[in-house]
Structure formats: C-alpha cells, structure tokens
C-alpha cells in the first residue's frame, strides 16, 4: 500500500483534475506558443531547491543547463541529469529539486542538461545534446568512473540512450546509470499502460501518443535511438531502475531491466508499490521518495567508489 502522504498527494491531483473537468496535461496537442508559455509557467512554479544545495546556470560542451552542488559534495564526481517531460515539457529548474536531492544523497555535483525539446529540434536532438554534454564532462577532466548518468520519465529513457550512444561512439563509459520511471517504448506496448490507466494520475496513453508523435516527427517509434527497449544494451555499466507499481510506464522499466540483464548488464530493479509516475517529483517528502532517493544516492556513490578503485 502507498503511504498516507503519497495517497494525499494523489488525491489532491485527482481533485484538481476533477475541477478542470477531467482534462489532463497533454490530452490535446498544444501549439508551439503554448509550449513555450507552459515551460515558462512550469519554471515559475517549481518546488524550491532544498537547503544546503547551491545552484547556478552553466554550460557543458556548449549545452546549457544547471549545476547543483550540495554542502560537502565531492567536486571530482558528477551526475549528468536528463529531466523528464515527454521531450515536450520540463526543464532543469522545473525538476531541480529532484536533481538537487539526488546530488546531495550521492555526495557529488550534478549538471542537469537543458536539451532541445520537440518544438525546438526534431528527434534525435536530445540524444545528440546529451552525448555532447557527456563529452564535455570528459573534456573538463572528469574521469569516466567519476561520472554517473541519471534521468526521470523521458529523461530516464534518455539516460540509457546516452549510454548506448557513448558506447557506440567509442567513448569510455560512466560508472553507473539511474533510470527513474523511464519511458523506454515510444510504441506504448506495455501491459501496464492499460492496467494502471485508472491508478496513475501523472501519465496516460493519449498524452504519451501526442508527445511521441510530436517528438518523432514521422520517424519510426521502434528506432533504437528513440525507444531504448529496442537498443543493443551489451557492455553498459550498472543500472538502477526505479519505477512505480501503479504507473502506466511500470512495464517500460521492468522490460528494460529484463533486456539489460539478458545483455549481461548488472541491473537493479525496484518497483515501488503504489507509486505513480515520477512520484519523486510530485511528492518529494513522502516515504517512498525518501527511500528511493536514499537507494539511488547509495547506489551511485557505491558504483563510483568501485570504478575509482
């Protein structure tokens, strides 16, 4: 059962949806001007960055983003973070509280990339931007074993796509990857999409279809550069996958774990009972978030420790 804290957040979201007449974000395809306005509005209403974490705008390899540094952070280590939003919404500041808390839990720096969204550049621009940023961290002198990749939702899939792109480019790979509530299948074939349609308040099939269409621009959703579920995952570093038991993308994470294990990748899968899509974002102080945050921080730190030996 989900915690009472998480249940209260979910109930509040349901009530807000009821007052809007049952509409959800993404149910109708917005115009580009609407997307720009929505991104600005989301950035203006973000959860505050937690105390003890400083942030500043910056660039890595020419890719803009935000640096996060917690008190006592090990400055030789960094998490390259890919925010969610279906490749259509979101930004480093909008998800900054998630990135900041992860960096604090892992005891290192974090850089969240402001990759191009679907109205700014076509697929596969986010993968290209993420790869440029990863090269940039290497060029700045960060050792591969002192870098971890992380992301949530679309960014959770993008984080693994970045690993594949770095491997294919012949680059040294990072120490580990954290993939939260990942969107790994842009064809939306997972059983959980139907099974959890009534339990997930943050994600639904019409919105996923709309965002996939906008992002792909006619490209094949089965392209392994779009849907990491179809990619060759061999040779990748250890991956922690966290997904909610009540979210429509649950099986995107579960199937990613199965495929990665079959490819010989060291995988840890944690399906959080009762958690909806990106619960860390909507309920930062609930027990499920604190537990998954602690697990993620310990995992990334342990993998960087191991890589540096």
* pLDDT at residue 27, rounded to an integer: 43
* pLDDT at residue 107, rounded to an integer: 97
- The residue annotated as part of the active site, out of 69, 247, 288, 293, is 247
* pLDDT at residue 291, rounded to an integer: 97
Phi/psi at 159 (5° precision): -60, -40
Contact 115, 163 (CB under 8 A): no
Cβ atoms within 10 Å of 265's Cβ, excluding its own = 20
- Burial annotation 68-101 (CB, 10 A radius, 16+ → b, else e): bbbeebeeebbbbbbbbbbbbbbbbbbbbbbbbb
Ordered by where they begin, the domains of the chain are 4-308 (3.40.50.1820)
- The residue annotated as part of the active site, out of 153, 179, 181, 192, is 153
- Orientation of helix 125-139 relative to helix 154-168, angle to 10°: 60
Cβ-based neighbours of 1, under 8 Å, separated by 6 or more: 273, 274
Q: Which residue positions in the chain have pLDDT lower than 70?
A: 21-47
| 247 assigned to active site | yes
CA distance linking residue 140 with residue 180, whole number of Å: 27
- The residue annotated as part of the active site, out of 192, 277, 288, 292, is 277
* pLDDT at residue 34, rounded to an integer: 53
- List the one residue out of 90, 136, 88 whose CA is nearest residue 111: 136
The pTM for the full model equals 0.93
């Amino acid at each position: 059962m989900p915690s009472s804290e998480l249940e209260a957040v979910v109930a509040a979201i349901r009530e807000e949806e009821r007052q809007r007449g049952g509409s959800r974000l993404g149910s109708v395809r917005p115009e580009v001007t609407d997307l720009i306005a929505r991104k600005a509005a989301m950035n203006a209403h973000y959860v505050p960055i937690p105390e003890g974490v400083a942030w500043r705008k910056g660039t890595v390899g020419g890719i803009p983003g935000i640096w996060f540094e917690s008190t006592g952070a090990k400055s030789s280590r960094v998490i390259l973070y890919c925010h969610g939003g279906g490749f259509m919404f979101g930004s480093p500041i909008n998800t900054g509280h998630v990135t900041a808390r992860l960096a604090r839990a892992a005891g290192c720096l974090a850089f969240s990339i402001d990759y191009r969204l679907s109205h700014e550049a076509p697929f596969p621009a986010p993968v290209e931007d993420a790869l440029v940023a990863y090269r940039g961290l290497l060029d700045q002198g960060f050792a591969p074993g002192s870098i971890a990749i992380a992301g949530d939702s679309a960014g959770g899939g993008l984080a693994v796509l970045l690993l594949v792109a770095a491997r294919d480019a012949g680059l040294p790979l990072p120490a580990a990857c954290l993939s939260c509530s990942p969107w790994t299948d842009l064809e939306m074939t997972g059983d959980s999409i139907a099974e959890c349609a009534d339990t997930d308040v943050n994600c639904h099939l019409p919105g996923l279809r709309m965002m996939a269409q906008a992002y792909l621009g006619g490209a094949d959703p089965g392209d392994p550069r779009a849907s990491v579920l179809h990619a060759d995952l061999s040779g990748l570093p250890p991956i922690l996958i966290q997904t909610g038991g009540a979210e429509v993308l649950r099986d995107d994470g579960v199937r990613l774990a199965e495929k990665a294990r079959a490819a010989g990748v060291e995988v840890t899968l944690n399906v959080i009972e009762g958690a909806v899509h990106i619960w860390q974002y909507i309920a930062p102080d609930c027990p499920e978030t604190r537990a998954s945050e602690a697990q993620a921080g310990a995992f990334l730190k342990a993998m960087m420790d191991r890589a540096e030996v």
